[in-house]
Copies of this chain bind each other. A is one copy, B any other.
Amino acid sequence: MSVFTPAEVVEETGFSIDTLRYYEKIGLLERVGRNSAGQRRFSQEDVGWLGMVRCLRDTGMPIATMLRFAELVRAGDHTIPDRIRLLEEHDRQVQAQIDNLAERQRYINNKISYYRSVL
């Protein structure tokens, strides 16, 4: 089973090392393994989980909600229905964001057209 150094995980996930430490500190990332010198060695699962975190974060999920999701994941398979509900709710919020952005974009484009028309 392969392990990853902090630098590799930074490269892979796009999170800064400070952010990774912060996520571990607040429990969004489970205590990461260390080598004999006390340095972090991330597992494949850590990196996979960080992919999920990136996705949720980039779609605007607050850390508090991600933390709840993380707890469900840790609690075991019986929480899968809860996880589905949480992700479905988030999916609706993402859809709402997309719809909202698309509508605002129309306003912006109207404004651009108007500005063009008065040139």
Contacts and interface: CB of A to CB of B under 8 A. Distances in A.
Interface of A: 52, 55-56, 58-59, 77, 80-81, 83-84, 87-88, 90-91, 94-95, 97-98, 100-102, 104-105, 107-109, 111-112, 115-116, 118-119
12 contacts: A52-B111, A55-B108, A80-B115, A87-B115, A91-B108, A91-B109, A94-B105, A94-B108, A95-B105, A97-B101, A98-B105, A101-B101
Contacts of A77: 118
Contacts of A101: 59, 94, 97-98, 101
Nearest to A101: B98
A119 B101 CA distance: 35
